Amino acid sequence: MNQNKARLSRRNFLLAVGAGGAAGAAAIVAKGVPTAQPGAGAANSKKSSQGYQESAHVRNYYRTAKV
């Protein structure tokens, strides 16, 4: 009888560990999804670059190049 109880408790313990491990893995996967976003951020920053502006500095360069 005592042996049976001990076996049952061991099984319950193993089940609990298994369920906890699955939940942990699910949490890790859920955290892993947002890590894919920095790539998208980089793509956005490509578009958001300020780029060429016809500033006073640039106009001055064009003026000197006409000489």
Contact positions vs other proteins (CB under 8 A):
42-43, 45-46, 49-58, 61-62, 64-67
Q: Look at residues 3, 29, 7, 38 and name the one whose alpha carbon lies nearest to residue 21.
A: 29
If the CB atoms of residues 36 and 65 are measured against other proteins, the closer one turns out to be 65
If the CB atoms of residues 3 and 38 are measured against other proteins, the closer one turns out to be 38
Q: Cα–Cα–Cα angle for 32, 36, 46, nearest 5°?
A: 160
If the CB atoms of residues 13 and 61 are measured against other proteins, the closer one turns out to be 61
Cα end-to-end distance, the chain, whole Å? 105
- Tell me how far, at minimum, the Cβ of 22 lies from other proteins, in Å: 34
